[in-house]
Amino acid sequence: MIAMQTLIGERLNAYWRGVVLALPITCALGVFFTGLATTTADAVRVATVVPAALFSDFFFVGVFAALSSFGLVTALFGGFLAFFVSAFFIILYPPSTFLISVLYGLPGIIIPYLVVRKLPQVDKFKVYPMNAKHILLRGLLGGSVIAIILILSKTLGNVWGGVASAFPIIFTSMFIIYYLLQGKSVIPSVAKSVFFPGALVYILHMYIAVLTFEKYGIWLGTLFAYIAVFVFLLAWSWGRRHFWSSSSKV
């Protein structure tokens, strides 16, 4: 699922790439398997922490995009440093409620977005064929992160699991592939596309999980969360088309 999400995203324009990459795969599976491996209450706690951890997730995106012109290694180092430093703060001062968790996350979403949108935007991409190597590599990366989420939840606690759930594995693999195949000039455009509706979708999915997991169980709760995500994305797409069509007439 993670491999196909990134591979499909490479073949779409900026808007639809953002929609595809907005689907909460890694964090949703991390929360889901936490519920299977531990308890429903643990899964709810992990879901509560995820919005705060989005601060670190999108901070990584912003720093990587800003440093991409200096080379891939520099961008990765700066991005991961930003992620781990900000994640350490969340671990030290974890949010006590879902609302506080969202308030934690908002600055790390809005500020990097304002920075990234000021960078030069290039949206012309080469199209490469899908192959087993890319699918296997991305699948192994994503699956490894989900395994780490479970280990951290069971050994170090749910706050660590929540932070690990937001680890930017999708963004990392996507940036590396784009950088190597498409060139560094496209990175700011790719980064800009993942902020919205992506950040809102992650928060919505986790909110529905918090509301439904203990009442209906993790299977139905995950189903309800994904239904809410798809309804939201349909509404977002309709609103966007309606807004732009109305603006063009004006």
* Domain locations along the chain: 2-249
* pLDDT tens, residue by residue, 47-67: 998 899 899 889 999 999 999
pTM over 0.85: no
Nearest to 49 by CA among 133, 128, 167, 175: 167
Half-sphere exposure of 103 (CA within 13 A, CB side): 7
Nearest to 175 by CA among 67, 16, 61, 24: 61
* pLDDT tens, residue by residue, 89-142: 888 888 989 999 999 999 999 999 999 999 988 766 666 566 777 777 777 776
Q: How confident is the model at residue 146 (pLDDT cuts 50, 70, 90)?
A: low
**What's the Cα-to-Cα distance from 118 to each of 65, 75, 121, 195, rounded to whole Å?**
11, 17, 8, 14
pLDDT of residue 250: 41
* pLDDT tens, residue by residue, 190-223: 888 889 888 899 999 999 999 999 999 999 999 9
Q: What percent of the chain has pLDDT over 90?
A: 34
pLDDT of residue 142: 65
**Of how many residues is the chain composed?**
250
